[in-house]
Structure 1
Amino acid sequence: MGKSLEEVNQSVLTQNKTSVFRKILAFFGPAYLVSVGYMDPGNWATDIAGGSQFGYALLWVLLMSNIMALLLQSFSARLGIVTQRDLAQASRETYSKFVNYILYFLAEIAIAACDLAEVLGMAIGINLLFDIPLVQGVLITVLDTFLLLFLINKGIRKIEAFIIALVMIIGISFIFEMIFAQPEVGKVIYGLIPSMPNEAALYIAIGIIGATVMPHNLYLHSSLVQTRKFDRSAAGIKQALKYNFIDSTIALNLAFFVNAAILILAAATFYKNGMFNVAEIQDAHQFLQPLLGTKWAPILFAVALIAAGQSSTITGTLAGQIIMEGYLNLRIQPWVRRIITRLLAIVPAVIVITIFGEGVTGKLLILSQVILSLQLGFAIIPLIHFVSDKSKMKGFHISIITQIAGWIVALIIVSLNAKLVFDEINGWLETSENPVVLWLTVVPLAAGFLLLLLYIIFKPFISKSKIDIHNHSPHNLKLRFSKMGSYAKKNVAVTVDFSNSDEVALNSAFELGGIEAKYTLIHIVETVGAIVYGENIDDHETLIDEKLLDEYKDMLSEKGYKVETQLGFGKPTKVIPKIINEGSFDILVMGTHGHTGFKDLIFGTTVDNLRHKISIPLLIVKI
């Protein structure tokens, strides 16, 4: 299985730092990318509604949500650090193909729903700041896809720096908003004490919790922690876990400050002035200037909203790449993946806004949160199972007390989100002109998801599954060989990628060289870690590739062939020519899937870039 976010995997060196501070600093970053998901535009609506209706009374709900989020994100980071797999990859290796397809489908919908909220948030911010119509604002958001592509080519540290800068803009904006609003400190502190004014407050509290923990953040964090290269000894892993927990604590507390500031701002302005029904982001922006007496209040509010949408959408798009590669083991060109993710959010937003008008954005935001609520349990529960498993976690599994805490958090979140979903479906049934359609579609679908959730909860207790080094080649190394040809070439190089093309390429090579030639099997590890550290890289993908190459060698040697193997590191178009030109080969044989036109754009191409760089004949075998 490939490395998670391989463009940046293990690309940040944490070893050989001269001081403890520099070592800690090297680990800092992933949690800040995660934290923006906790202050995205989807949270703003629930925070504004909570503050305007109930003042400071629901601040404790934000604090509780933050503690829950910290626990779950620490689980996610632990999974990535210890197993070198993200949550999607771990799920793929644990559940059946059918279940994984459903989990992938749900995760993809959740990513699109989350991206929808972020696109709308940015579009609203652009509309409020520059008076650009919402539809045009939504279309403008497609440009940040190319911004992400630019940043990721510059390295993960550049992305982290950009996100941290946006988080600082949000934080500074709300510091000034607090100065303008002058909240009552005593009531703020009192709001941290658990209380529930009425049943309507409970509904808002459910919305706040439901909007706080985002499923895509769990996939994202388990991948981002793998961008750090550190000592893989027990002590090194323990140190990485500690530093990442510190990183998460600081970053998520910043997210708590932002969410609390939004709720406090709503309480100190709208609730204080008897405006209890302000729930729309646009309404909040409109009333800030007359209530606070400064033009800067609405400007800073809009700037913070744009920064929140921009930062959240970058991390959401990265999460989309993680779940596709993790669940499906499908790698496509990064920019194609990001365009797909963005279009899944933009197209529905443009259609709905065009048909129903700009006033529907609030309902769209709520809908996105309901969709996220549906998917949340399918990310949390497998995560708790994985980090509790001794065999998977190699001795770094969580303690019994932490497991109990994790299950309590899961029970609270899943129960509250289930209630939110139940209430929504019940509302649809009561207001629908044709409820029979809903009974035949939505209700069975919800029941099916409930059964799947129960399966995921209880399966690991019934049958424990182990994570081994899996062979993901389609033919499982059982190659069929054609009749041997006569001796023609004495030193043949063959590129292998553990796919269907290997069988055809090797048979073509044997027809050229026969039983007496010497064959060198070449495979290239393409991760960013391999590009940076070369043959010094020591990661999971390298171990798998070495194992598979050795299996190829043993299998072919048993059949009488003289076989050597060579593992290269970096981009195939650069490394393969270097290996070929430095060796004494007569011919290079490559299998190709024959991508042309559109497929080249999606999957990329190696052959065309390589054939002009080598000094020997190249035999291209199309499968």
Structure 2
Amino acid sequence: MLHLAEQDPAAGGRSPVRGRKGPRRALLGLLGPAFVAAIAYVDPGNVAANLTAGAQFGYLLVWVLVVANVVAVLVQYQSAKLGIVTGRSLPELLGERLRPGWRRAFWVQAEIVAAATDLAEVVGGAVALYLLFGLPLPLGAVVVGGISMALLAMQSRNRQRPFELVIMGLLAIITVGFLAGLFISPPDPSGVLSGLIPGFRGPDTVLLAASMLGATVMPHAIYVHSALSRDRHRPDRHRHVPQHAVERLVRATRWDVIAALAVAGIVNIGMLLLAASTLGGVEGTDSIEGAHAAISASLGPVVGVVFAVGLLASGLASTSVGCYAGGTIMEGLLKIRIPLMLRRLLTLVPAVVLLAVGFDPTWALVLSQVVLSFGIPFVLVPLVVLTSSTPLMGGFVDRLPLRIASVVSVLLVMALNLALLWFTFTGAAGR
């Protein structure tokens, strides 16, 4: 019998809960998977969406980020709990339940979402290299892809902990890079409070809200978190696990998710507040390059460099996690496993081509996040159904309050997407 609370593969088989370690160190030893998943919530797509929202509409859409982060905490906890309790990832469980035709169709939409994610992350990293070193964007995309390969080489089921620590280090750099400017140009408190009141100001704000939602509640992060938790805590998923051990892991996972998403939420809101306090009314801030130039001019070149370093760390970390998520989706749904390095090469091509033909990188980032927002219901609905299944989850099935919150979240996302479709296809968006 495997007592997971007493045996952790990341700790070389030693207990992270008992033995010589105290309870606090034991808890810290169980943290990590949520911080890897949280990288998806501070990727370059977030930067483009949040800076655009803050620069164009001030504090108006702060409430969108608050709501999106609450939804993110909810769904990431459900995904991680699913992986721990069942010993299988969300794509695996869907692959077991869907008929072959539906399974392949579901994989296609999930791959489109993963491709949009990877596009945003590589493009963002390339823009950061251009800002820091003047590298041409296509070359920067190749460099980002090469570094992400090195990070992916570290990721395996036997070496997940070092990968988690590297990603957590990059998250620290991202946090400093994107929040440093707030200490020089703090936001207006009354403006922040007014931004907490839900509301829109025309169809353009609906488009931005959908982009911000797609950038904050990331479908591929929901898929991959179940696999990260499974691989970290249930490496031998076929062996029996006592309920008390699973309970301990689920409690630790709850704190893991809250801590990781709190950091990601603060960074996202901080980006919007920085744009609102610094970039409002400044010409040319509708691109990351323009926003960086305005930040450097307003707050000094040092802050500009720190911001660009944060953007680079965001691109490098998120593209590695995104590529790993794509592999998890394919393996779970199609039972096909290709080397991550090969997948990295294949998914790098669209971003390089897009940048080579001169497509606006910031607009590519914003549109990629809109694509992600349409993929959210496809992952949220199955997640809610599975975590509400007593035969599957046993005593860890979602309780009624959590089910209600999950259904409300799904309906909110679908309503926002329907509004976006209406504005887009009636020609109202962008007027």
TM-score normalised by the chain length of structure 2: 0.90
**Does the CA contact (< 8 Å) of 1:180 and 1:297 recur in 2?**
no
Q: How does 1:438-453 map to 2 (within 5 A)?
A: none
What secondary structure, in the 3-state scheme, does the structure 2 residue paired with 1:331 have? coil
- Once the two structures are TM-superposed, the CA of residue 398 in structure 1 deviates from its matched residue by 0.2
**1:326 and 1:422, CA in 2 relative to 1: closer, same or farther beyond 3 A?**
farther
Please give the alpha-carbon distance, in whole angstroms, between the structure 2 residues aligned to 1:328 and 1:262: 38
- Once the two structures are TM-superposed, the CA of residue 403 in structure 1 deviates from its matched residue by 0.8
What secondary structure, in the 3-state scheme, does the structure 1 residue paired with 2:198 have? coil
Please give the alpha-carbon distance, in whole angstroms, between the structure 1 residues aligned to 2:228 and 2:186: 38
**Does the CA contact (< 8 Å) of 2:177 and 2:308 recur in 1?**
no
**Does the CA contact (< 8 Å) of 2:152 and 2:324 recur in 1?**
no
What residue number does 2:237 align with?
Answer: none
**Does the CA contact (< 8 Å) of 1:46 and 1:279 recur in 2?**
no
- What is the percentage of aligned positions where both structures have the same residue? 34
Please give the alpha-carbon distance, in whole angstroms, between the structure 2 residues aligned to 1:219 and 1:395: 22
What residue number does 1:392 align with?
Answer: 392
Any idea what the Cα deviations from partners look like across 1:296-322, whole Å, max 9, x if unmatched?
A: 121111101001111111111111121
- Once the two structures are TM-superposed, the CA of residue 145 in structure 1 deviates from its matched residue by 3.8
What residue number does 1:375 align with?
Answer: 375
Q: List gaps (5 residues or longer) in structure 1.
A: 1-8, 432-623
Please give the alpha-carbon distance, in whole angstroms, between the structure 2 residues aligned to 1:92 and 1:310: 30
What residue number does 2:208 align with?
Answer: 204
Which range moves more in the overlay, 140-149 or 68-77? 140-149
**1:259 and 1:86, CA in 2 relative to 1: closer, same or farther beyond 3 A?**
same
What residue number does 1:40 align with?
Answer: 43
Comparing both structures, which one devotes a greater share of its residues to helix?
2
Residue 55 of structure 1 aligns with an amino acid whose one-letter code is G
Q: How does 1:37-436 map to 2 (within 5 A)?
A: 37-152=40-155, 155-229=159-233, 232-271=241-280, 274-275=281-282, 278-292=285-299, 294-332=300-338, 336-344=339-347, 346-355=348-357, 357=358, 360-427=360-427
Please give the alpha-carbon distance, in whole angstroms, between the structure 1 residues aligned to 2:257 and 2:228: 12
**1:380 and 1:277, CA in 2 relative to 1: closer, same or farther beyond 3 A?**
farther
Comparing both structures, which one devotes a greater share of its residues to strand?
1
**Does the CA contact (< 8 Å) of 1:52 and 1:270 recur in 2?**
yes
Q: Pick 1 or 2: higher relative contact order, CA cutoff 8 A, min separation 6.
A: 2
What secondary structure, in the 3-state scheme, does the structure 2 residue paired with 1:275 have? coil
- Once the two structures are TM-superposed, the CA of residue 349 in structure 1 deviates from its matched residue by 2.3
Please give the alpha-carbon distance, in whole angstroms, between the structure 1 residues aligned to 2:225 and 2:423: 31
**1:26 and 1:115, CA in 2 relative to 1: closer, same or farther beyond 3 A?**
same
**Does the CA contact (< 8 Å) of 1:374 and 1:421 recur in 2?**
no
**Does the CA contact (< 8 Å) of 2:72 and 2:217 recur in 1?**
yes
What secondary structure, in the 3-state scheme, does the structure 1 residue paired with 2:395 have? coil
Any idea what the Cα deviations from partners look like across 1:520-576, whole Å, max 9, x if unmatched?
A: xxxxxxxxxxxxxxxxxxxxxxxxxxxxxxxxxxxxxxxxxxxxxxxxxxxxxxxxx
**Does the CA contact (< 8 Å) of 1:117 and 1:365 recur in 2?**
yes
What residue number does 1:575 align with?
Answer: none
**1:197 and 1:421, CA in 2 relative to 1: closer, same or farther beyond 3 A?**
closer
Residue 51 of structure 1 aligns with an amino acid whose one-letter code is G
Q: List gaps (5 residues or longer) in structure 2.
A: 1-7, 235-239
What residue number does 2:22 align with?
Answer: 19
**1:66 and 1:97, CA in 2 relative to 1: closer, same or farther beyond 3 A?**
same
Any idea what the Cα deviations from partners look like across 1:341-390, whole Å, max 9, x if unmatched?
A: 4422x3222223323x2x52123223322322232211111111000000
What residue number does 1:617 align with?
Answer: none
What residue number does 2:4 align with?
Answer: none
Please give the alpha-carbon distance, in whole angstroms, between the structure 1 residues aligned to 2:204 and 2:327: 38
**Does the CA contact (< 8 Å) of 2:214 and 2:371 recur in 1?**
no
Please give the alpha-carbon distance, in whole angstroms, between the structure 2 residues aligned to 1:301 and 1:330: 39
**Does the CA contact (< 8 Å) of 2:88 and 2:227 recur in 1?**
yes
**Does the CA contact (< 8 Å) of 1:37 and 1:214 recur in 2?**
yes
**Does the CA contact (< 8 Å) of 1:52 and 1:276 recur in 2?**
no
Please give the alpha-carbon distance, in whole angstroms, between the structure 2 residues aligned to 1:425 and 1:374: 15
Residue 183 of structure 2 aligns with an amino acid whose one-letter code is I
Please give the alpha-carbon distance, in whole angstroms, between the structure 2 residues aligned to 1:428 and 1:142: 37
**Does the CA contact (< 8 Å) of 1:74 and 1:248 recur in 2?**
yes
Please give the alpha-carbon distance, in whole angstroms, between the structure 2 residues aligned to 1:10 and 1:425: 51
**Does the CA contact (< 8 Å) of 2:80 and 2:253 recur in 1?**
yes
- Once the two structures are TM-superposed, the CA of residue 221 in structure 1 deviates from its matched residue by 0.6
Any idea what the Cα deviations from partners look like across 1:160-205, whole Å, max 9, x if unmatched?
A: 1111111111112234211122322343344334344555433322
Count of aligned positions: 414
Any idea what the Cα deviations from partners look like across 1:427-462, whole Å, max 9, x if unmatched?
A: 59999xxxxxxxxxxxxxxxxxxxxxxxxxxxxxxx
Please give the alpha-carbon distance, in whole angstroms, between the structure 2 residues aligned to 1:418 and 1:11: 44
Residue 366 of structure 1 aligns with an amino acid whose one-letter code is V
Residue 349 of structure 2 aligns with an amino acid whose one-letter code is V
- Once the two structures are TM-superposed, the CA of residue 240 in structure 1 deviates from its matched residue by 1.1
**1:394 and 1:379, CA in 2 relative to 1: closer, same or farther beyond 3 A?**
same
What secondary structure, in the 3-state scheme, does the structure 1 residue paired with 2:88 have? coil
Name the larger-Rg structure.
Answer: 1
**RMSD in angstroms over aligned alpha carbons?**
2.4
Please give the alpha-carbon distance, in whole angstroms, between the structure 2 residues aligned to 1:375 and 1:203: 15
**Does the CA contact (< 8 Å) of 2:177 and 2:311 recur in 1?**
no
**1:428 and 1:201, CA in 2 relative to 1: closer, same or farther beyond 3 A?**
closer
Any idea what the Cα deviations from partners look like across 1:497-525, whole Å, max 9, x if unmatched?
A: xxxxxxxxxxxxxxxxxxxxxxxxxxxxx
**Does the CA contact (< 8 Å) of 2:34 and 2:260 recur in 1?**
yes
Please give the alpha-carbon distance, in whole angstroms, between the structure 2 residues aligned to 1:427 and 1:66: 30
What secondary structure, in the 3-state scheme, does the structure 2 residue paired with 1:181 have? coil
- Once the two structures are TM-superposed, the CA of residue 84 in structure 1 deviates from its matched residue by 0.6
Please give the alpha-carbon distance, in whole angstroms, between the structure 2 residues aligned to 1:251 and 1:276: 35
Q: How does 1:471-620 map to 2 (within 5 A)?
A: none
What secondary structure, in the 3-state scheme, does the structure 1 residue paired with 2:286 have? coil
Please give the alpha-carbon distance, in whole angstroms, between the structure 2 residues aligned to 1:117 and 1:177: 23
- Once the two structures are TM-superposed, the CA of residue 78 in structure 1 deviates from its matched residue by 1.2
**Does the CA contact (< 8 Å) of 1:145 and 1:338 recur in 2?**
no
**1:342 and 1:245, CA in 2 relative to 1: closer, same or farther beyond 3 A?**
farther
**Does the CA contact (< 8 Å) of 2:203 and 2:423 recur in 1?**
no
**1:258 and 1:295, CA in 2 relative to 1: closer, same or farther beyond 3 A?**
same
